Amino acid sequence: MNKAELVNEVSGEVGLSKRETQKVVDAIIRTIGDTLAAGEKVTLVGFGTFRVRSRKARRGVNPQTRQSIQIPVKKVPKFTAGKALREKVR
């Protein structure tokens, strides 16, 4: 399911127009991103938790030159599914 399909499904479920639903979905995604960028986690009970994790620096190989390179530390978003979501998927 892509974003447009999600908007279509939610629109039918809650009775809002697709344009209004699009604004709501965009606001939710933007708020989650802003919260993660601030270093905080977002927990949606029954769904899961979004948080930021740090990846350690490591050595890698440039596939074109086969030279060893140093890959720096970086922060990445991580999602952990909640119990209700895990059970629903099973």
Q: How confident is the model at residue 45 (pLDDT cuts 50, 70, 90)?
A: very high
Can you tell me the mean pLDDT for 18-43? 96
Can you point out the beta strands (E) in the chain? 42-44, 48-55, 58-61, 68-71, 74-81
Average of per-residue pLDDT across 34-49: 96
Segments making up each domain of the chain, as ranges: 1-40, 41-90
Average pLDDT for the chain:
95
* CATH homologous superfamily for the domain 41-90: IHF-like DNA-binding proteins (4.10.520.10)
What integer is the mean pLDDT of 64-89? 95
The pLDDT confidence band at residue 54, using thresholds 50, 70 and 90, is: very high
Element counts in the chain: helices (H) and strands (E): 3, 5
